[in-house]
Structure formats: structure tokens, C-alpha cells
Amino acid sequence: MARVHNFAAGPAALPLGVLEEVAAELVEYGDTGMSVLEMSHRSANYQEIYDHAEQSLRELLDIPSDYRVMFLQGGATLQFAAIPLNLMRTGRADYLVTGSFAKKAWAEATKYGQARVAATSEDTAFDRICDSATYQVDKSADYLHICENNTIYGTMYHELPDTGDVPLVSDMSSCFLARPADVSRYGVIYAGAQKNAGPAGVTIVIAREDLIGDSPALDICPTYMSWATQAGAGSMYNTPNTFGIYLCGKVFDWVAAQGGVAAMEERNRAKSDMLYDIIDASDLYQGVAQPGSRSICNVTFRCPTPELDAQFVASASEHGLVGVKGHRAAGGIRASLYNAVEPASAEALASFMRDFESQMGGSSRS
């Protein structure tokens, strides 16, 4: 077996122990005589798997009892529409546009109501989180939407905006379980699983009960996308991604066994600091994100020319370091350091970065 150091942005690395456990029980789960892949979502055996996944997640994030948890399909992208459809009761919402996904979420919401860009960092190519002193949240908005970790640009909120009574809705796709979150400060948290929590094809939605209500804000909301319907049906209004949810449950257990989300944050900080230290001391690498907005999940930087970036990516791959090509919207280099990326992988990348720079004849400033 030759596993590479996987820095992909998503789908991304999964814990090896989880993969091995899944492999061991793939053909027969417990003494059920069948694979989880073959199991009815209405069976008692599967319900147990589902309940375990939800319970394990509730413990990890200490989710208050008045929040409902859903495991849906369609990615974070489908939630870009589900959010206004479920929440736009007065028809107005605010968005902080700090990257491509934040902008897509806003653009989708404009189809259903008045979605206002309260602030954007597009003028500086999304290199930062918007300074809260530069905008005001509409006190009568149905919600304020943020993208908490901007996967493509490598920026992250280090302080949540103060929204008063306006519910905060957070796209946590790329920082879900990467650090602790005080769930009670949010109205809705949602995340595609494929970055940090499991395989592609599962989207986790955590929503406060009173915001879900008895029915979605807009009558045109497709039944599948109604949180009232899905929460009421325990995410089983229709067939859920049964295998994906099972795998998420395994990843949640793994995070708990590592010491929980606080331990994950410490680990992610140590990994990202390793790379940021090199960038800050380098004459070759230039960080993309402004230092105050740097992400602990996605580290972005570039060489002086796109040709050198390409050379870096190709050479890294030859050294077993894969998935470091920047997103096409941002270019450059991006190392995603999600929970399952081992510190040894970050060390291998750090050492490659140093070697690559000295080969280029660069001198470190440190």
C-alpha cells in the first residue's frame, strides 16, 4: 500500500483507521448478513447507525437540544437555495461576500428575495474577511449569511460578526469540526461533508427549531428542501445517502477519539503554522490571505510566476505530495490541512517547500 500525502480541498483525506474499519465491515455489517450499502434505510439496523451518527455529532459540538440535525444531499450548493426558501419570512437577508462560495450563496438568494451584500472583499481578490467596523447588519433582516472558511482563498473568520437578534447562518463546509463552535451563537450551520466530516454526498444542516418552524418561509420551497419536512422525517423524507451518513458517523467517532474538536483545532493550528512560518520567512513564496484572516484549514500561497507555481505542483506530486494546485479561480498553490491530514503530512510538505526554495536559489529571510 502506498498512500500519498493528500492535500486536496475536497473530497479530501479521510482517517486511515476509518477506511480500514469500513473495509473490514463492508461485506457484512455486524451480524446483519448484509452490507450497509444493501440495508434498507427503514430498517432498525440502519436507524441505529443513523442515530449513532447524530448522537456522536451532538456530543462533539455540544449541540443544544433546541437545534435539529439533518443529513441531506445536494451539497452546500443546494443549501444556498434552501436557506432563503426556508428563512426569508420578511423577504430580506444580508450576505457577507468573502469568496466564490459566499458569492454563489448570495446570488442564489437573490432569486427568492432581497439579498443584500452588506460587505465584500472582492475588491482585494477576497484576500481577507470583511472588517466588522465597515458594515452594519440590517436589524430587520431574516438572517446574515457568512462563509466561515473560504476554501479557495484560504481565509477564515477568527471572530463572528455580532448580529444581535438577526440569526447567523454559516457555511462551515471547510471548517466543520476543525475547531470548536458555540452552536448557540448560530441560527443555522451547514456543511458539505467531503472536506472534513466524511465522503461527498452528505450535507449536514444544524438549525434552530424556531427558525425551522412548521413550514418553510416560501411556499414554492421544494418538499425535499423543506427543513420542517426533513427534520420532521429524521432526514428520511426520501432515501438518504445511507452509506455516506454511516461513514460520517465513523469520522465523528474518530474525532472524539482524538480528543474532540478542541484537539483538532490545536492540531490544525500546528500544521498550518508550520507552513505559514515558511511563507513568512521566504523570498520565494508569497501568502495569498492577509495574515489576520488566515485559515487553519486551507493555506494559500504563490511563487513569483505561474510557471513556477506549476513546477512546484508537479515536483510536489513526484514527491508524493498531491492536491496542492490552487483553485482555478485563485491560481497559485493551496494546501488543505483538514482534520484527517496527519501532522507528518504537513511536515513532509514543509520540508519539500524548503528544499524547493533552495533549489530555486532562494534565500530564506529567517
Binding site for ligand PLP (CB under 6 A): 10, 75-77, 101, 147, 151, 171, 173-174, 192, 195
CA 130 to chain centroid: 19
Q: Which residues does 3 contact at the CB level (< 8 Å), separation at least 6?
A: 16
CB-wise, 10 or 15, nearer to ligand PLP?
A: 10
CB-wise, 76 or 255, nearer to ligand PLP?
A: 76
How far is Cα 4 from Cα 27, in angstroms, rounded to an integer?
26
Going by DSSP bridges, is the β-strand pair 321-322/92-97 parallel, antiparallel, or unpaired?
unpaired
How far is Cα 148 from Cα 130, in angstroms, rounded to an integer?
11
Q: How far is the CB of 357 from ligand PLP (least distance, A)?
A: 29
Q: How far is the CB of 325 from ligand PLP (least distance, A)?
A: 16
CB-wise, 105 or 353, nearer to ligand PLP?
A: 105
C-alpha distances (whole Å) from 185 to each of 67, 170, 222, 258 are 11, 10, 28, 25
Alpha helices in 178-234 (DSSP H): 209-212, 227-232
CB-wise, 189 or 275, nearer to ligand PLP?
A: 189
Q: 336 and 153 in contact (C-beta within 8 Å)?
A: no
Q: Which residue is nearest to ligand PLP (CB)?
A: 75
CB-wise, 128 or 303, nearer to ligand PLP?
A: 128
CB-wise, 199 or 357, nearer to ligand PLP?
A: 199
How far is Cα 268 from Cα 154, in angstroms, rounded to an integer?
13
Q: CB-based burial of residue 290 (10 Å sphere; 0-12 exposed, 13-18 middle, 19+ buried)?
A: middle
Q: How far is the CB of 191 from ligand PLP (least distance, A)?
A: 8
CB-wise, 79 or 229, nearer to ligand PLP?
A: 79
Q: How far is the CB of 295 from ligand PLP (least distance, A)?
A: 11
How far is Cα 243 from Cα 49, in angstroms, rounded to an integer?
10
Q: 75 and 192 in contact (C-beta within 8 Å)?
A: yes
Q: How far is the CB of 115 from ligand PLP (least distance, A)?
A: 16
Q: Which of 223, 205, 174 is nearest to 327 (CA)?
A: 174
Q: How far is the CB of 82 from ligand PLP (least distance, A)?
A: 11
How far is Cα 174 from Cα 152, in angstroms, rounded to an integer?
10
Q: How far is the CB of 301 from ligand PLP (least distance, A)?
A: 18
Q: How far is the CB of 99 from ligand PLP (least distance, A)?
A: 7
Helix, strand, coil % in the chain, rounded to nearest 5: 40, 15, 45
Cell of 140: 430587520
CB-wise, 149 or 163, nearer to ligand PLP?
A: 149
Q: Which residues pair with 192 in a beta bridge?
A: 203
CB-wise, 202 or 353, nearer to ligand PLP?
A: 202
Q: How far is the CB of 232 from ligand PLP (least distance, A)?
A: 24
**Cell 472536506, residue located:** 195
Going by DSSP bridges, is the β-strand pair 114-120/92-97 parallel, antiparallel, or unpaired?
parallel
How far is Cα 92 from Cα 78, in angstroms, rounded to an integer?
19
